[in-house]
Amino acid sequence: MKDLEKVHKNERRDRTIVTVGDIRVGIDCLIVAGPCAVESDKQIITIAKEVKKAGANLLRGNIYKPRTSPYSFSGVQAKGLRYLNEVKLQTGLPIVTEVLDIRDIEKVIEYCDVIQVGSRNMQNYSLLREVGKIDKPVILKRGFMATIHEWLCSAEYILLEGNKNIILCERGIRTFETYTRNTLDLSSVAALKELTHLPVISDPSHGTGKRGLILPLCLSSIMAGSDGVMMEVHTDPNMSVSDANQTISLEKFYDVADKVKKTWEFRQSISNCLI
Ligand code: PEP
Ligand code: MN
């Protein structure tokens, strides 16, 4: 299909492996953890050290926050880059952060290892073209109203500009269900294995909006074929400035990371039974 010429899986193209620190995404299990938002230097450094110890291999923390209400906290903005730089010096953990505006890309890639394009910007085509020109990996989250085809078209925009290091991230879609914040679509994870050579991870924090559902949905994502998971973690989850309900404690993260790794090993052990 012409729309998906570069993103489509075909016999001639091997799976894409994206290198993030020591992890080969597509071969190894990517575990992305950290707060929804960077709040202070102390907060992000403390969380980074702990999630690293517990097994995270990529730290998340947004300094620019897309918020539904213009009156909500919109992130610490550019000064957060100094905090993230300090995290890097103290922990060596690779860092992913979201970029909302093409004017911020240049300075963000000086400090961060991976750029996130969030759900609300999945169809921001000028942003997609710009991140297509950089030489750092991009996590492309699924638009909460986007079909799999539309999501893959967005990845195609990035690939067309030359950046092949794309990790798709299922983060839930809006459905008629209201108990959960979104419906985490695990069928997309399995479907993407048939449709594209790009790796895919899933984000049960945004996908469910409920901290109690993060563990079971992380494990089921791995079993559906996910190349990793992303979740929100905080030293004091209820005090998180954003997304508190879907944020787990550091203690819980130890448990989740351990079980994700065990599930990953189990999947490897039966991999010839899976697609
Ligand atoms: C996030 O990961 O911080 C975020 C805002 O997620 P999403 O774009 O999936 O809503
Ligand atoms: Mn969040």
Which of 119, 121, 174, 233 most suits a substitution to test ligand 1, by most atoms within 8 Å of the C-beta?
A: 119
Predicted confidence (pLDDT) per residue in 181-223, tens digit? 999 999 999 999 999 999 999 999 999 999 999 999 999 999 9
Asked if residue 190 belongs to a domain, the reply is yes
Tell me whether residue 74 is in a domain: yes
- What are residue 120's phi and psi, to 5 degrees? -70, -20
What mean pLDDT is reported for the chain? Answer: 96
Domain span holding position 129: 2-270
* Span from the CA of 255 to the centroid of ligand 1 (angstroms): 23
- In contact, 275 and 268? CB cutoff 8 Å: no
- Neighbouring-strand partners of residue 168: 140, 200
pLDDT bracket for residue 13 (50, 70, 90)? confident
Hey, how many other C-beta atoms are within 10 angstroms of the C-beta on 9?
A: 17
Strand segments, DSSP code E, in 107-254 are 114-117, 138-141, 166-170, 200-202, 228-233, 247-248
Q: What residues are in contact with ligand 1 under a 6 Å CB criterion?
A: 36, 62, 98, 118-120, 141, 171, 206
- Residue whose Cα lies nearest atom 9 of ligand 1: it is 119
Is the pLDDT at 72 greater than 70? The verdict is yes
CA of 117 to the centre of ligand 1 (A): 8
Strand pairing class (18-20; 23-25) = antiparallel
For residue 135, being part of any structural domain is answered with yes
Can you tell me the distance from the alpha carbon of 99 to that of 121, in angstroms, rounded to the nearest whole number? 9
Domain count, the chain: 1
Identify whether 37 is part of a domain.
Answer: yes
For position 271, what pLDDT does the model report?
Answer: 84
Q: Is residue 239 part of a domain?
A: yes
pLDDT of residue 35: 98
Q: What is the CATH number of the domain that holds 208?
A: 3.20.20.70
Q: Is the pLDDT of residue 274 over 80?
A: no
CA of 118 to the centre of ligand 1 (A): 5
Q: Which atom of ligand 1 lies at the shortest distance from residue 171's CA?
A: 9
Ligand nearest to the CA of 66: 1
Phi, psi of 152 (to 5 degrees): -65, -35
pLDDT band at 11 (very low <50, low <70, confident <90, very high): low
> How far is the C-alpha of 249 from the C-alpha of 232, rounded, in Å?
9
* Domain-embedded: residue 275: no
Cα 12 to ligand 1 centre (Å): 34
Model-wide pTM > 0.85:
yes
pLDDT digits (tens, 9 = 90+) for 60-71: 999 999 999 999
Ligand 1 centroid to residue 171 C-alpha, Å: 8
Q: Give the separation between CA 245 and CA 130, rounded to whole angstroms.
A: 33
Residue 80 lies in a domain: yes
Q: List the beta strands (DSSP E) in the chain.
A: 18-20, 23-25, 30-34, 58-60, 95-98, 114-117, 138-141, 166-170, 200-202, 228-233, 247-248
Atom of ligand 1 nearest to the CA of 116: 2
Establish if 234 belongs to a structural domain.
yes
The answer to whether residue 272 scores a pLDDT higher than 90 is no
